[in-house]
Amino acid sequence: MAFSLTPLPYSDTALAPVISAETLSFHHGKHHQAYVTKTNDAIEGTDHADKSLEEVIAAARGSNQGLFNNSAQSWNHGFYWHSMAEESSSPSAELTAMINEAFGSVDDLKSKLAERGAGHFASGWVWLAEKDGKLSIEETHDGDTLADSDFNPLLTIDVWEHAYYLDHQNARPAYLDGVINKKLNWAFASENLARGTTWKYPS
């Protein structure tokens, strides 16, 4: 099956001024679309053609770097769009309790996400993830993903430069501050925790 570009779950102005409509037009409409197109081109007519995106990622890991990069980046971006919302919500009671246990408080978690995101060298992703009933902050470099890992990702933040350069130039901390304090979709994170299994890319 051919994969489609995940629609944005909000209008293209919903994340402004943290992330502008112009940034979304490039990041979603061009970068994400290119990853999806290249994934579809690579699997057409192969044994991967009828697999889910998560299965494609797992099959390509360690054996086909080009397919892995494009399929993993397709998944990461789909998950990233859902990790944000026009209006930031509050974590569920279950998630709040786990955050308090792991990090001290929601505010402490936000500070740690900002610190890890700012300190991440070069391109990659910063994740809030759950494993064996415990929360942690994970980092993946370049196009790597948690989609086929032992972790259940709850939220992610893209720290590739193209995610923020048009709006914040090289000031990654300003982008992180805006996303973390104003746009994180805690309802999505709570749903991912309650479901207990990794989010699936829409087919």
Per DSSP, 120 falls in state -
Q: How far apart are CA 151 and CA 198, in angstroms?
A: 8
DSSP-assigned states of every residue in 161-199: GGGTHHHHTT-HHHHHHHIIIIIB-HHHHHHHHHH-S--
At 28 the pLDDT is 98
At 89 the pLDDT is 87
At 175 the pLDDT is 98
Q: In tens digits, what is the pLDDT along the chain, a chain of 203 residues?
A: 699 999 999 999 999 999 999 999 999 999 999 999 999 999 999 999 999 999 999 999 999 999 999 999 999 999 999 999 999 889 999 999 999 999 999 999 999 999 999 999 999 999 999 999 999 999 999 999 999 999 999 999 999 999 999 999 999 999 999 999 999 999 999 999 999 999 999 97
Cβ atoms of 98 and 135 closer than 8 Å: yes
Cβ atoms of 18 and 175 closer than 8 Å: yes
At 102 the pLDDT is 98
Q: E strands of the chain, at which residues?
A: 124-131, 134-141, 152-158
At 73 the pLDDT is 98
Residue 184 to residues 15, 41, 84, 155: CA-CA distances in angstroms? 10, 33, 5, 8
Residue 115, classed as helix, strand or coil, is helix
Ordered strands of the 152-158 beta sheet: 134-141, 124-131, 152-158
Q: How far apart are CA 96 and CA 112, in angstroms?
A: 15
Tokens for 88, please give them: 């930031």
Q: How far apart are CA 47 and CA 25, in angstroms?
A: 33
Cβ atoms of 179 and 84 closer than 8 Å: yes
Residue 87, classed as helix, strand or coil, is coil
Peptide bond before 17: cis, by omega within 30 degrees of 0? yes
